[in-house]
Amino acid sequence: MELELTRVDYTVVGLTASSCLQLLPGTSSSDGSKGSLKQQQKVVVGDQDGVLQVFSMKKDELQIHFKTLPHDKIASVKLGGQIGSVADKIFTASENKVRGFNKKGKMFLAFETNLTENIRSMYVSGSDLLVCGNHVYNHYKDCKEVGSYLCGDSIVDVAALCPNNTSRLITVLACSGRVLRILEHSRVRQTLEVDSVPTVLHVPKGLGDRILCGFGDGKVLLFHINLLVTEVKREVLVEDTENLSAVTCVATYDLSGDGKDELIVGRRDGTLQVFTMNLDEYQFEMECTQIYREHFNESISCIQGGCVGANNYSEVVVCTYSGRVFGLTTQCISKSLSDSNKQISASINPDTSSKLHKLKAEIYELEQAITRERERYQVSTQALSTGLSAIPMLPVNDSMILCKEDATYALTIELPTPIEHVLLQCDAPINLIDVEKNSAVVSFSECDKMSGNSLLASYRCQANTNRVDLKFRTVEGQSGTLQVYITPNLQPKCCQLKRYPIKPLSLHMITYNLPDEIKARSMNALILKGAFSQAEMHNWLLNSIPEIPEKLYGNEKTRLVFRHVFVGTVLICEYGKAEANFRSDNISTISILKDFITKEATKKRIKLEITTNSNEHSIPELIKLIEPKIVHYNKLTKDYQILQALVDLDIRNDKEFSALSEEYQNLLRNQKQIESEFKKQPTILNRIYGILTDLYIDKFKFKGVNVKTKLPQLIDLLENYNYDELVHFYSVMKSAEDQEP
């Protein structure tokens, strides 16, 4: 079954954040049950100009019911009401304040929370108000604080469950440290580790103790939180099989009218998807099938299912980052003329004709206003004028996410205005990767080693391009800063600079539960003692490893575990005041961490007592761990090289094809697959070789031996891979005459 939806534009507001749009409930049943009449609903939207407005559609005309004056940026808009009654009260969060409005626009609540941070997310359930800053969660009941929680990770979103229709309130926090924290009475009851960074939470109606969560890797998961059982069941509803971007919003609504809700997913790259959900209430099983997909040119901030344009027609109301509000309605709206030979005016009814004349008049007035403002601007910037040319600071909607599937970083940059070009400059070696959905033209400049630049590249964007998607690969041990200069297509010309740190251990992600087979690996150790505080060591690690919690609470010894997304090795960090212990099954990780911390301690003139312990058994284990990649990509590279030679033969008939060996015939049959895989990761074999050569150098560096002259021999062994020979090569110490000072 395919769902047909037609776009209808409603209005344009200011820039919007997540959870900025809601639909007020209709006067009659609009829950999507079969046979019910769906009444038109009012749309509530708040923007970053601080304007809250409520509008509806009447005979295809926009009717604004109320609109507030500009104020502080609105971070979240939620609906609330007494439990069991209609949720028609509007709540907005701005800075650290929460305001309440009724549907007529009268403000009945102006509540200032005691948060020292700005509110990023909010949830309303009856008389309970949950607000979160960057690290602080507060729970209010009837505007009185009843609990709070400090989180080391950044809190991305918050939601609440009332299991089994009881008075219990279970809070779920989505945190940037790849975890969901389940709270009751402001205390953590469970911590759920997830594979990616959660981005949004949604509580579907009628599913009791279940919650939907969208992730940065494009997946959507359903969690069944049964507090009577310690285990939380989870099920993947949407897989990111097509390299889609992060999920920004999730909603459920009955669009097809069959009495079952559909799953609606909005993404950062502007993709909107609708899935059917076939739920078995007795077993935790749900099947999702995509029935609609459409791509828009900018990221989607919020989506809601309801009825806005016309009575009894369901639709998806969408709000984008730049503030465009439109509906995707199930109502069939014809856009074609009945007969191409007829006069155009004959196919347009009088009402439509009057609307067109009105629109043309509005466009003419806007053009005249723009012309007047341009003339006034030109006069104010003359040499004899005292006027100044002010360059506006445009907000940049950006994100940089570590993708564990291919061990790369995905960088997304979006502006509310078209982008002219983007310049990249980095003092660390990074490798840019082609992105299919990126239409910008890239050009590289040669880098002078004396200047300290390792990358200079520019992206020239096509017309009306508001977002640029980039992908790059880092090298562990090489740290620096990626500087992105963004030039919008505006007059006067201006440029905005964004900086992104490239950390020494850039390919490590935080993890919480280690399997027993990983715990049994042979570990290399690094022990540091000195006159440093726990906060100083935490700050050093914060600058060397991604995904470390920004803040550290308490004076107890901290333990953090990280995993290499490409190799699969682990790093265990245990540190407190005056002592830190690091263990890893990769000696290169220990070497990189030792060099960085020593350098930082030297800057602060802190003397360190350093003890290292290298385990010889860790080398064969690491080679065995990476062996499947060596074998696979060695074969892929050789197959690709042979395939290019076979293509040059220009085989044209079956007789010539049958004269080839079976191996070469299979290569030609799988030509597209081999070429596609090789083009996706053309340098991955060099990357594997680099990891193993660094391992060889770092092993003997701890022994005070320089082995760089042996690297060509190591590369030959890797190209003709044999496990026993490679392990033997790593275990043999160089003779004294071969050693270099």
Question: For residue 161, is pLDDT > 50?
Answer: yes
Does residue 31 have a pLDDT over 70?
A: no
Closest CA to 94 of 158, 126, 49, 149: 49
Higher pLDDT, 437 or 125: 125
Residue 155: pLDDT band with limits 50, 70, 90? very high
pLDDT digits (tens, 9 = 90+) for 35-65: 456 788 999 999 999 999 999 988 778 889 9
Q: Compute the average pLDDT of residues 149-168.
A: 84
pLDDT beyond 70 at 347 = no
pLDDT value for 33: 43
Count of alpha carbons within 13 Å of 519, Cβ hemisphere only?
5
606 burial class (0-12, 13-18, 19+ CB within 10 angstroms)?
A: middle
Q: In terms of Cα–Cα distance, which of 575, 498, 591 is closest to 541? A: 575
Terminal-to-terminal C-alpha distance of the chain: 72
Question: Using 50, 70 and 90 to split pLDDT, how confident is the model at 196?
Answer: confident
In this predicted structure, what is the pLDDT of residue 740?
45
Cα–Cα distance, 79 to 89 (Å, whole number): 5
- Distance in angstroms (rounded) separating the CA atoms of residues 258 and 185: 39
Confidence of residue 734 (pLDDT cuts 50, 70, 90): very low
pLDDT(311) > 90: no
Spell out the residues 6+ positions from residue 151 whose beta carbon is closer than 8 angstroms to its own: 135, 136, 137, 173, 175, 181
The model's pLDDT over 421-452, given as tens digits with 9 standing for 90+, comes to 999 999 999 999 888 778 888 999 888 777 77
pLDDT tier for residue 285 given thresholds of 50, 70 and 90: low
Strand-pairing partners, residue 129, are 124, 140
Q: Span 598-617, mean pLDDT? A: 91
Q: How confident is the model at residue 339 (pLDDT cuts 50, 70, 90)?
A: very low
Q: What is the pLDDT of residue 490?
A: 81
Q: Is 738 left (phi over 0), alpha (psi -120 to 50) or beta?
A: alpha
pLDDT in tens, 248-278: 999 999 888 888 888 999 999 889 999 988 7
The whole-number average pLDDT for the span 597-616 is: 91
Q: What is the pLDDT of residues 661-718, one digit of tens each?
A: 888 888 888 888 888 888 777 778 888 889 999 999 988 888 788 888 888 898 898 8
Q: Which pLDDT does position 387 carry in this prediction?
A: 56
What's the rounded Cα separation, in Å, for the pair 182 and 282? 24
d(CA 175, CA 151): 9
CA 444 to chain centre: 27
Residues 135-160 have a mean pLDDT of: 91
Number of Cβ within a 10 Å radius of residue 118: 15
Arithmetic mean of pLDDT over the chain: 85
Query: Residue 416 forms beta bridges with which residues?
Result: none
pLDDT band of 27, cuts 50, 70, 90: low
Q: Which two tokens stand for residue 604?
A: 């602060």
- Amino acid identity of residue 123, one-letter, is Y
Q: In what order do the strands lie in the sheet with 89-94?
A: 74-80, 89-94, 97-101, 107-112
Q: What is the pLDDT of residue 382?
A: 63
Q: How many CB atoms lie within 10 A of CB 237?
A: 20
362-397: pLDDT as tens digits: 888 888 988 888 887 777 666 555 656 667 678 899
In order, the DSSP letters of 563-627 are EETTT--EEEEEEETTEEEEEES-HHHHHHHHHHHHHHHHHTT--EEEEEE--TTHHHHHHHHHH
Can the peptide bond before residue 492 be classed as cis, meaning omega within 30 degrees of 0? yes
Decide if 504 contacts 592 (C-beta within 8 A): yes
The percent of residues above 90 in pLDDT, for the chain, comes to: 39
pTM of the model: 0.85
Say how far apart CA 727 and CA 739 lie, in whole Å: 20
Q: What is 449-505 written as a DSSP string?
A: GGGT-SEEEEEEPPTT--EEEEEEE--TT--EEEEEEEEES-SS---EEEEEEE-TT
Average pLDDT for 227-244: 74
Say how many C-beta atoms besides its own lie within 10 A of residue 450's C-beta. Answer: 6
Query: How far is 297 from 326, CA to CA, in rounded Å?
Result: 13
